[in-house]
Structures are given as C-alpha cells and as structure tokens.
Amino acid sequence: MPGTLYLVPTPIGNLGDISRRMADTLAQVDFLAVEDTRVTVKLLNHLGLKKPMVTYHRHNATPAGEAILRRLLAGEHCALVTDAGTPAISDPGEELVALCAANGVPVLAIPGPCALVTALSVSGLPTARFTFEGFLPQNKKNRRAHLDSLAGEVRTMLFYEAPHKLSATLSDLAETFGPQRPITLCRELTKLHEEVWRTTLGEAAAHYQSQEPRGEFVLVVEGAPPAVQEADPQAALELVAQLRAEGLSLKEAAAQAAPQFGLKKKQLYDLALGK
C-alpha cells in the first residue's frame, strides 16, 4: 500500500500561525521534501523536531519527484513543505501532486497560511470572484501580452511581486488599468511591520518611484467595472412588452427596462410608441 503525500503549509512570517495539525503531520511522516533545508531546519528546531529531509525545488523537480514517488509507492509517508506558505501555490508542488495522482498515491492537503487568501480577505475589494495571477512574466513581450489579456478583467486580480520589481510592476499595472483603478497593497502580512494600503494604481506607482519598497507584497487590484450592455432596442422593446403584459404602464415598463439596455427611459418610451 502506498504512503501519503501531505502538503503542509508553513507560516508566511508569524510562527504563531503554526497549527497543531501541521506540527503533528511533520512529526509523524517518515521524511520531508523541502524547498530549502536551511529554511526548514529553523522551523523544525522551533518545533523541537529532527526529520530526514530531501530537497524538492524547481531546479530538480523531475528527478527529485520521481525519487519521492518511489519512496511513497514503497509505503513511506512524506510531507512537502516550501519556504513559506502553501506548497504548489507559486511554489514547488504542482508537478509532484500530479505525479502522485497519476500513480495512485493519496495526497492530503492541510489548510494553512497562504499570502493570496490573506491579502484578498483584508483587501476591502470584492472577494466573490477573483483571479490569482501569481508573478507576472519577466520577459517584456510576454508580460505585455499577459497584461493586455487582463485589460477587461472584471474580477479582482491578485499578483505576487518581489520588492525590487514592485515599482516597475505598479507602473505597468497603472498603464494597463488606468491610474484611478483601486488597488490594495498588502505588505509583510502577519509580520511586525504588516501594512495594508488601500489606494489607487496612480498613487501607488508614484509613491514607490521615490520610496524604496521593503518586504514582501501582494497586490490586489479591483476588476474593471462591468461593461454596460450594448444598446439593443429590439430586446428592450421585447422586455417592455413583457412588463406591460405583467400589468405595468408603458411609462413604468420603459423606466424599468431602459437602463438594462443602455437606453434612456424617454428614448425607449418613444420607441415603444413608434416615434
């Protein structure tokens, strides 16, 4: 019987975010697959644990993934941890999970710290529908194409960014979405100098042109306002007829239907009268 691959999130800054289940899982598994042993050893020391570790990162994902799979198939249990936050979210893990799934190895995800969810929840921007964009491409052409593809995005957008690239990214975002577009910059979440700044892209870009950014950032950008439905007089007249059949006066029906079709109520009223 194969062992289980556990996806174990780690704190994104505050050790108080270590959960009982996370600590128990790290203690119980046979070995850990880690992004960087030097980072994980600090966490293990904090928990008073000593565990065998193998590295699993983006430069060795294929050979290391296969070696981990062999051990799982032989019945060992493994916990995958990255330097901070949830594995497989802009971090190593995606390929290993797919490999396990394809080979009948159970994968169990333990919920825990994740910068994007933390930022979205505190952003003050709409949370019902959102798109996580991770890090923007570095290549200029791919980056432009990616931003252009987001130009009409109506959902809240989340981006990860490193401090030394923040200023350029804010300028690119302001250029794409306009300087008035609301943004929430979430800096150093869960840490001592945590900061949440709700502003506009223009203000944020200007601020970080003169101020050196410090720490880690999640950028939460409001989506575009939904496009007003294109004026469609025929559909508007159909709705007016339907509302009239339901007992509304022509004036009431025109007033109710017009905004839904980008028309003025007088305009629709006249149209319905054949003027």
- Residues in 90-119 that interact with ligand SAM by CB under 6 A: 90-91, 114-116
State in angstroms the smallest separation of the CB of 191 from ligand SAM. Answer: 6
Is residue 126 within 8 Å of residue 222, measured between CB atoms? yes
Residue 45 CA to residue 62 CA, distance in Å, equals: 29
Point out which span in 42-50, 165-173, 211-219, 245-253 binds ligand SAM (CB under 6 A): 211-219
User: Which H or E run includes 250?
Assistant: helix 250-257
Residue 161 or 222: which CB sits closer to ligand SAM?
A: 161
For residues 214 and 224, give the distance between their C-alpha atoms in angstroms, rounded to a whole number: 29
The residue from 19, 190, 260, 267 that contacts ligand SAM (CB under 6 A) is 190
Closest to ligand SAM by CB, 90 or 200: 90
Q: Which of residues 131-160 bind ligand SAM (CB under 6 A)?
A: 160
Contacting residue, 40, 86, 167, 176, with ligand SAM by CB under 6 A:
86
Stretch that binds ligand SAM, among 19-27, 36-44, 101-109, 212-220 (CB under 6 A): 212-220
Nearest Cα residue to 45 out of 17, 15, 13, 79: 15
Q: Of these, 72, 84, 185, 257, which contacts ligand SAM (CB under 6 A)? A: 84
Gyration radius of the chain's alpha carbons: 26
Element (H, E) at 241: helix 233-245
Q: Which residue is nearest to ligand SAM (CB)?
A: 85
Cα–Cα distance for residue pair 217/201, rounded to 1 Å = 14
Number of residues that bind ligand SAM (CB under 6 A): 23
- Classify residue 198 by burial, with Cβ atoms within 10 Å: 0-12, 13-18, 19+: middle
Which of 7, 8, 13, 120 lies at the binding interface for ligand SAM (CB under 6 A)? 13
Q: Do the Cβ atoms of 88 and 54 come closer than 8 Å?
A: no
Please report whether residue 222 would count as binding ligand SAM according to CB under 6 A: no
Task: List contacts with ligand SAM (CB under 6 A).
Answer: 12-13, 82, 84-86, 89-91, 114-116, 160-162, 186, 188-191, 216-218
